[in-house]
Amino acid sequence: MKKLLLTHCLLLWAVLGFAQDELQVRGNFSIEGQYYQQDSAISAVVPDEQVALQGFGNIILTKGKFETGVRFETYVPAFVGYPAGAAWDGTGLGYRYAKYNGDKIEITVGNFYEQFGSGLILRTWEDRGLGVDYALDGIRVVARPADGITLKGLYGKQRFNFDDGFQNGDGIVRGADAEFHLNQLLDSIINLNGQWFIGGSFVSKYERNRSAAFDFPENVGAGSVRLRYQQGGFQFSGEYAHISQNPTKMNSQIVDIPDSLSPSTGIFQFGQALQATTSYSRKGFGVSLTASSLANMAFQSQRGADAFDSWINYLPPTSVLQTTLLAQFYPYATQPNGETSFRGDLFYTIPKKSLLGGKYGTKIVVSYTHVQAPDFPEVPGFDENREGVQPKLFTWGDDTYYADFNAKITKKISKKFKGSLFYMNIQYDNDVILGAYDYENVAAKGKIYADLIAFEGDIRLKKGHNFRFELQALFTDQHLQDWFAVVTEYTISPHYFFSAVNQYNFGNADGDKFNFPVVSAGYIDGGNRISLSYGRQRAGVFCVGGVCRVVPASNGLTVTLTSSF
């Protein structure tokens, strides 16, 4: 740690001292504070401190080809429910690096984020709002020796938790990636139609085996190959990945391991995945199809890591991310241990001045997602070989984990008014996804079938003034039953916004018909924004990648200040 910091300072001075180009400084800040109130009716959580404050500041210095950056972070303490796994606590350095950015080579020492291909075997990333930070800490080299060739190599440990400074986990991650743009590469030999890209990656992790009872593989390797093709409005991309035998805490859930056989040890099996997507679009029309299957794909840099921690790869949910308030009751979370999924999207604009298009045209977006449980063939003799199942791709089990159909029509009626109508039908297995919570902050049981309808209107008032409203209703016989929500928002460009939102559990025949009102106001000036909000928050989950974070119910005042410079 000391050595790294010292190296950092030296590099910093070297960067600032020797390069001749002009020094540039940029960065951003974010501070969020929350005051929690008692609200036992909804089991609102109040931390002992009553007030939580968290924030960060990034500063990046660039001079010619040299760059260095740091991020300070503070959690005094972190928000309730903010990251569920390892602790984030205290104030200190969250990230620091030095980088040389040459024409053909780029070298980074310190922390970095990287993605190979679509991320199936490596994507280290951050989402500060969600409390996700999988930064690697080590060295990365990116080389572009010739047009159409990109080579990457990296070596490092991974951020695990934060205790007055970031701390890395035990595992070591090593990887290499190559991508070739065939058109540029084969320019002199053949003339290809369309744009062709091929690529391949190799990633391995090392973690010492501290178990006397089990012969855990200390090195676990993963490889992937990918192809991307595009011509005009047609696009195809696909990636296949394979991970060698990888027993972890996560994959122990694939089979019912009897208590007599150390249940949390995991199964000694390989993993694999295939993802492909193809789309065609032209002016006013687009269609896209996605197919994906995962089998034993949890790839984390620590064998005993919890569901939220130390992810090396990124397994995005196949479903479309919905931002409609009531649709967030039932977010899909990827099942890294196994799933088979499909999605189809349709985009269509009914042309202007046609019968249905009207003066401005009408936009239609339709999407369907289906995610099915896998049906892995069992491998007998579990107590001797600990293999359990055969991780095959595109198997079709009995259980539908998730399905949704949704459609949205958007139409501008006049210069002053624009409206949209949204419908969604959701099928959700909460025993598997664990995304729906009740008023005791406990996951609801069983399958949930829900219909959602939402109407949004946007009214332009006098210059710079705009009023937006949403009326939403969600109908289900399961979970907390029926809901109604109203969203209103008044904005005065370019500085002010005010909003009032209420979610009302009107159809709850078995319990209290709670209201969840929230009012907020904000001021924006260029890259700076301050906002205040006060009200009740439902219990729910945030899901990203293969990762979900449970946020318990709360009630109180939140202040947010963000700034970019």
Partner 1 sequence: MIRKLILTFTAFSLLLFAHAQENSNTSSIPSTNVKSLEGKTFDTANFSNDGNPMIINFWATWCSPCKKELNNIAEVYEDWVDETGVKLVAVSIDDARSQSRVLPYINGSSWEYEVYIDENQDFKRAMGVNNVPHTFLVDGAGNIVYSHNNYAPGDENELYEKILSLSNQ
Binding positions for partner 1, 358-397, rule CB under 8 A:
363, 365
The reply on whether position 24 binds partner 1 by CB under 8 A is: yes
Site for partner 1 in 34-93 (CB under 8 A): 58-62, 67, 70, 72, 92-93
- The span of 75-83, 121-129, 446-454, 546-554 binding partner 1 (CB under 8 A) equals 121-129
**Residue selected from 210, 359, 445, 465 as contacting partner 1 according to rule CB under 8 A:** 465
118: contact with partner 1 by CB under 8 A: yes
**Stretch 495-534: interaction string toward partner 1, x if CB under 8 A:** --x--------------------------x-xxxx-----
* Min CB(135)–partner 1 separation in Å: 11
Q: Which is nearer to partner 1, 286 or 397 (CB)?
A: 286
Tell me whether residue 23 or residue 442 sits nearer to partner 1 (CB atom): 23
Question: Residue 545, SS3?
Answer: coil
Task: Annotate 80-128 with DSSP letters as a single string.
Answer: TTS-SSS-EEEEEEEEEEEEEE-SSEEEEEEEE-EE-TTSSS-EE-EET
Instruction: Give the nearest distance from C-beta 33 to partner 1 in angstroms.
Output: 16
Tell me how far apart the alpha carbons of residues 558 and 32 are, in angstroms, rounded to a whole number: 7
Our CB check for partner 1 shows the closer of 145 and 526 to be: 526
Give the tokens for residue 488: 């209103």
The piece of 17-25, 253-261, 374-382, 550-558 that touches partner 1 (CB under 8 A) is: 17-25
Q: What is the 3-state secondary structure (H, E, C) of 128-167?
A: CCCCEECCEEEEEEEECCCCCEEEEEEEEEEEEEEECCEE
Angle among Cα 351, 345, 312 to the nearest 5 degrees reads 140
Question: How does DSSP assign 205-249, residue by residue?
Answer: EE-----SS----SEEEEEEEEEEEEETTEEEEEEEEEE-----T
- What is the amino acid identity at position 495? H
Residue pair 542/516 in contact by the 8 Å Cβ criterion: no
Please identify, among the stretches 206-214, 319-327, 383-391, 477-485, the one whose residues bind partner 1 according to the rule CB under 8 A: 319-327
Q: How many residues make up the chain in this entry? A: 565
Of residues 221-260, those binding partner 1 (CB under 8 A): 228, 230, 233, 235, 237
Q: Are 411 and 420 in contact (CB under 8 A)?
A: yes
Among 321, 356, 413, 421, binds partner 1 (CB under 8 A): 321
Number of Cβ atoms within 10 Å of the Cβ of 108: 22
- C-alpha dihedral sign at 293, 240, 179, 108: positive
Which x/- pattern, by CB under 8 A, does the window 323-362 give for partner 1?
Answer: x---------------------x-xxx-------------
Q: CA angle, corner 347, sides to 341 and 352, nearest 5? A: 170
In this structure, the number of other CB atoms found within 10 A of the CB of residue 305 comes to 21
State yes or no: residue 195 binds partner 1 (CB under 8 A).
yes
Nearest distance from residue 28's CB to partner 1, in Å? 4
Q: Which stretch binds partner 1 (CB under 8 A): 311-319, 476-484, 505-513, 532-540?
A: 311-319
**Which phi and psi angles does 39 have, rounded to 5°?**
-160, 80
Q: How far is CA 495 from CA 28, 279, 461, 491, in A?
A: 19, 39, 16, 8
Closest by Cα among 334, 329, 299, 330 to 317: 334
Least CB distance to partner 1 at residue 65 (A): 8
Separation CA 534–CA 499 (nearest Å): 11
Q: Which of 141, 366, 492, 519 contacts partner 1 by CB under 8 A?
A: 492
Distance CA 244, CA 534 (A): 49
Binding of partner 1 by 316 (CB under 8 A): yes
Q: Which of 33, 35, 101, 488 binds partner 1 (CB under 8 A)?
A: 101
- Residues of this chain, 135-174, that bind partner 1 according to CB under 8 A: 144, 150
Judged by CB under 8 A, does residue 554 bind partner 1?
A: no
Can you tell me which of 50, 211, 264, 564 binds partner 1, judged by CB under 8 A? 564
State which residue, 161 or 288, has the beta carbon closest to partner 1.
Answer: 288
How many positions of this chain bind partner 1 (CB under 8 A)?
93
Provide the residue type at 240 as one letter: Y
Choose between 258 and 351: whose C-beta lies nearer to partner 1: 351
Residues in contact with 250: Cβ distance below 8 Å, sequence separation at least 6, in sequence order: 266, 298, 300, 305, 307, 336, 337
Site for partner 1 in 255-284 (CB under 8 A): 275, 277, 279-284
C-beta pairs of 206-213 under 8 Å, 24+ apart in sequence:
206/171, 206/172, 206/174, 207/170, 207/171, 207/172, 207/301, 207/302, 207/303, 208/170, 213/262
Output the smallest distance, CB 190 to partner 1, in A: 18
Q: Does residue 446 belong to the site contacting partner 1 (CB under 8 A)?
A: no
Q: Which is nearer to partner 1, 93 or 389 (CB)?
A: 93
| 414 binds partner 1, rule: CB under 8 A | no
User: Given the rule CB under 8 A, which of 383-391, 459-467, 474-482, 500-508 is the region that contacts partner 1?
Assistant: 459-467
Q: Considering only CA atoms, which of 116, 111, 219 is closest in space to residue 157?
A: 111
Residue 44 or 93 with smaller CB distance to partner 1:
93
- Min CB(379)–partner 1 separation in Å: 31
Residue from 33, 36, 132 nearest 85 by CA: 132
Stretch of 168-176, 211-219, 372-380, 489-497 contacting partner 1, by CB under 8 A? 489-497
